[in-house]
Amino acid sequence: MKNLFAASAMAAVSIFTPQLAAAQSTTVQQIMDRGSMLCSGHNGSYFGFVEVNDQNEWKGLDIDLCRALTTAILGDPDANQIVPLSWAQRFPALQSGDVDIIIKATGWTMGRDTELGLQFSLPYFFGGAQIMTHGDLGITDATGLVGGTVCVEAGTTIERLVANYLKTIDVEHTMVSYESAAELRSAYLANRCDAFAAWGPSLAVLRATELDNPDAHVILSDQLSSEPISAAMRQGDEGFVDTVNWAIAALLIAEEEGITSANVEDMAATPPNPRVARLLGVEPGMGERLGMRDTWAREMIAAVGNFGEIYDRNLGKDSPYNLERGLNNLWSHGGVLYAPILD
């Protein structure tokens, strides 16, 4: 009797103890078993990157990258769940497995890479912190902000960058920080703060939405940083990192080669060069090496387009924001985006 009790107790305990790392399935395997991919959303809208439209659907550059990845892994752009997360929650949520990946305008930092146990993908975007002020203050650079109030988002790299920058140039100021982009935005528009420190692209997007009066807001000349923006994953799953890296690479290569969602099937039928043939899975190699289907890149491009299309749709000329590509163009067009070599 006693032995039986002890044995069943041991059995019960062993179920609850963590399995050994070796026995754990990879993230890709988990996604396939689940049949859907868990991506990060935002608690509100982060214009151009993660936003909710009138039909209650998520859209934006980061959401499109998630859809691209979902297509690559599962073959269906809609087989994902967008989990709304605040900035502060994104890393705990990743660590706890609430999301598979964070694609949320997240900068690659040493602390995150080492202490938080994260792994970063190839940078897919470059943008630095900048400061925007109300035009009627007549300020052109950050030294004019003496005594002013600066608003930032809590728990971001920007928060530390701005604090550090303003201290370095010895500008005495008050800082107010908010948990979500929407709150920050309405606080700035309500004139709670003189200045709004954020990531350059999102400032430009915000300014573009104030079309009635383009001079009402001035982006100061100070460039506080240029951050590489990457997707963040849990450490210890190299296979998943490879998948994400090559999905991003495929989007860039497609743009380089002029493959779009419109012409991808024609390109696959008559590939102009061996690189395109390999990318679109006409020649084998693309899938096997990642443990996926050979045609994953073709399906992905058909579903969401190449990187240029994604950019134009969400931030560029086909969006309400109409942002220049600038740094975020291909290296061959004066930008800094490039893909690793597809051999």
Partner 1 sequence: MATAQELRAKAKQRQIMIQSALIVFSLTILWVAVSNAQSNLTRLNMTSGFAFLDRGTGWDYSFSLIDRDINDRYSYTLFVGFLNTVFVGFICIVTTTFFGFIIGTLRDAQHPALRFAANVYVQIFRNIPLILQAVFLYALLIHLGGPRQAISIADVAFLSGRGMMLPGLNISATVAISLVLASILFGIVLLCTKITMWRGLLVWCCGSVLVALVVALIVKPAGESVFSVPVLQGLRFQGGINLPIELLAMILSITLYGSAYIAEIVRGGLNQVPRGLVEAGQALGLTRMSIWTRIKVPMALRSIIPPLGNQWIFMMKATTIGIAIGFSDLFYITVTSISQSGQTLELIMLLMLTFLAINYAIALFTNWLNTRMKLKEN
Partner 2 sequence: MVGTAMPPQSQFEVARARFKKNAFGTPVATAISIVVFTGLAYVLWNFLNWAVFQAVWSKENVDMCDAHSGGACWSVIDARYRLILFGTYPFDEQWRSITAAIVIVLTVIASCFPAMWQAKRLSLLWVAGFVGYYLLMEGSLIGFERVTTDGWGGLSLTLFLFAAVVLLGMPMGLGFALMRRSEMPVVRWFAVIFIDTLRSLPLVTTLFTAAVVVPLFLPDWLVGDKIWRVIVGFALFFAAYQAEVFRGGFQAIPKGQLEAGKALGINYWSIMGRIILPQVFRHALPSTINMVVVTFKETAIVTIIGFFDILASGKVAFGAPEWSPYYIEVFFFVAAIYWVFIFSLGQYGEYLKRRMALASH
Q: Note the residues at the interface with partner 2 (CB under 8 A).
A: 15-19, 24, 36, 43-45, 52, 54-58, 81-86, 89, 92-93, 95-98, 179-180, 182-183, 185-186, 189, 209-210
Shortest distance, position 2 Cβ to partner 1, whole Å:
13
Using the structure block, give the residue that is written with the tokens 């936003």: 51
| # residues contacting partner 1 (CB under 8 A) | 50
Q: Are 80 and 67 in contact (CB under 8 A)?
A: yes
d(CA 168, CA 206): 27
Q: Are 190 and 134 in contact (CB under 8 A)?
A: no
Shortest distance, position 258 Cβ to partner 1, whole Å:
41
Closest CB to partner 2 among 43 and 225?
43
Partner touching 29 among partner 1, partner 2, none, CB below 5 to 8 Å by kind: none
The reply to whether 148 sits near partner 1 by the rule CB under 8 A is: yes
The reply to whether 179 sits near partner 1 by the rule CB under 8 A is: yes
The reply to whether 4 sits near partner 1 by the rule CB under 8 A is: no
The reply to whether 30 sits near partner 1 by the rule CB under 8 A is: no
Tokens for 75? 């073959």
The reply to whether 175 sits near partner 1 by the rule CB under 8 A is: yes
The reply to whether 108 sits near partner 1 by the rule CB under 8 A is: no
Partner touching 45 among partner 1, partner 2, none, CB below 5 to 8 Å by kind: partner 2
> Taking CB under 8 A as the criterion, which residues in 113-132 touch partner 1?
115-117
The reply to whether 16 sits near partner 1 by the rule CB under 8 A is: yes
Shortest distance, position 170 Cβ to partner 2, whole Å:
35
Shortest distance, position 118 Cβ to partner 1, whole Å:
9
The reply to whether 160 sits near partner 1 by the rule CB under 8 A is: yes
Partner touching 226 among partner 2, partner 1, none, CB below 5 to 8 Å by kind: none
The reply to whether 235 sits near partner 1 by the rule CB under 8 A is: yes
The reply to whether 294 sits near partner 1 by the rule CB under 8 A is: no
Q: How far is CA 173 from CA 11, 167, 196, in A?
A: 60, 9, 13
The reply to whether 316 sits near partner 1 by the rule CB under 8 A is: no
Shortest distance, position 329 Cβ to partner 1, whole Å:
31
Shortest distance, position 137 Cβ to partner 1, whole Å:
7
Which is it for strands 174-178 and 125-127: parallel, antiparallel or unpaired?
Answer: unpaired
Query: 173: Cβ–Cβ under 8 A, 6 or more apart, which residues?
Result: 145, 146, 147, 148, 149, 150, 166
Interacting residues with partner 1 (CB under 8 A)? 9, 13, 16-18, 21, 24, 87-92, 95, 111-112, 115-117, 134, 137, 145-149, 154-156, 159-160, 163-164, 167, 174-179, 183, 186-187, 190-192, 194, 234-236
